[in-house]
Structure 1
Amino acid sequence: MSKIGEQLKELKDGTRYSFKGTFQHNGLKSTDYIDKMGNTRYQPTFMLTDIYQIDTDGKEHYVADHLWMNLTKLFLKYGWLEKGDLVQFDGKVVEYMTQRKNDFKIERPSKVIITRSEVTLPHTGSLKKLSKKLTYKIDLTLKQEISCYPSLA
């Protein structure tokens, strides 16, 4: 296990911690769900880099070079994330099994704060205002991602 995996492993105690990272890009992951037409469903995701755990006194501890998270409504309340946005949130470290090894991820995010160009973004409070714009951007991103993988198109 890598040194970074070990750093996250130390935080796998069921406690919620504060984390921050830099948004890089969106992505997709396949789910185990197959719809009535026999098509695999895909979950929108996003990648953060340079992940730090933040102590209650504000001290930062580097824990991972990158992290993939589900792109949920909680994050979409801030609009479409842009490369370089600073994403801060609370979450729990959990262990999961990949095809090759055990790994760690941060799940159940809460208390999200997005900072862009040193300005904290307000959340809309309602996705209704953003739904058409976000749906279009998500659809466009999904189509671009899937076209990169001929087996998914």
Structure 2
Amino acid sequence: MEEQTMRQHLASLGTTERYWFTGIFERYGYRAGAERVEPTILLTSVRLADKQLVATQSWFKLSKGFRDLGELKPGDKLKFSGRVAPYIEDYRSAVTTDFSTSSVNYRIGYPSKIKLVRPLIHRHRPALPIELDALVQQISRWNTHEQV
């Protein structure tokens, strides 16, 4: 299914109801914000009620609900409740920094009731570092395949 069609399907759900979604953990990441670095989590094959594909990939803030699961491994399947949230997607020209076009797009927001439904490996899951700098350093090591 084409990404645009998936986003249209998300939009058709509306923004007031909560829905159940599933997704496959791919990796941790982070993005640099204006004031601080923000840890993130990437889920792939995100489905509505474990059926309809609504996103091939989706980034989320690494909220307490995700952190409470402990260290996830690629392939772990998660289930969570969320709402459809609109956002403005801006495209910048490669030549200038002026906005060339803006459009409303849709994503899954406000994830809660996050559960691990199918761990890839059944084992004890170490907790993620609590301190932000330590967490970002750990994510950086995982993403560059360094050993802890």
- Structure 1 length as normaliser, TM-score? 0.70
Secondary structure in structure 2 of the residue aligned to 1:48: strand
- CA RMSD in angstroms comes to 2.9
Q: Structure 2 residue aligned with 1:117, among 110, 120, 138?
A: 120
Paired residues in the alignment total 128
Q: Alpha-carbon deviations, 1:41-78, whole Å to 9, x = none?
A: 11111111111101xxxx62111111110101111111
Secondary structure in structure 1 of the residue aligned to 2:74: coil
Q: What is the distance in 1 between the residues matched to 2:39 and 2:67?
A: 11
1:1-153 paired onto structure 2 within 5 Å:
2-32=4-34, 34=35, 41-54=36-49, 60-100=51-91, 101-114=103-116, 115-117=118-120, 130=127, 133=129, 135=131, 136-142=134-140
Task: Measure how far apart 1:5 and its partner are.
Answer: 1.1
Q: Alpha-carbon deviations, 1:91-132, whole Å to 9, x = none?
A: 10110012233221211111111130386x999xxxxx936x
Q: Which runs of 4+ in 1 moved over 3 A?
A: 133-138, 142-145
Give me the identity figure in percent.
24
Task: Measure how far apart 1:137 and its partner are.
Answer: 4.8
Deviates more, 1:101-110 or 1:84-93: 101-110
Task: Measure how far apart 1:144 and its partner are.
Answer: 7.5
Would you say the 8 A contact 1:18–1:88 is kept in 2? yes
- Structure 2 length as normaliser, TM-score? 0.72
Secondary structure in structure 2 of the residue aligned to 1:84: coil
Would you say the 8 A contact 2:79–2:114 is kept in 1? yes
Change (3 A) 1:95 1:29: same
Q: What is the distance in 1 between the residues matched to 2:6 and 2:121?
A: 27
Q: Which segments of 5 or more consecutive residues in structure 2 lack a partner in the other structure?
A: 92-102
In structure 2, the partner of 1:151 is none
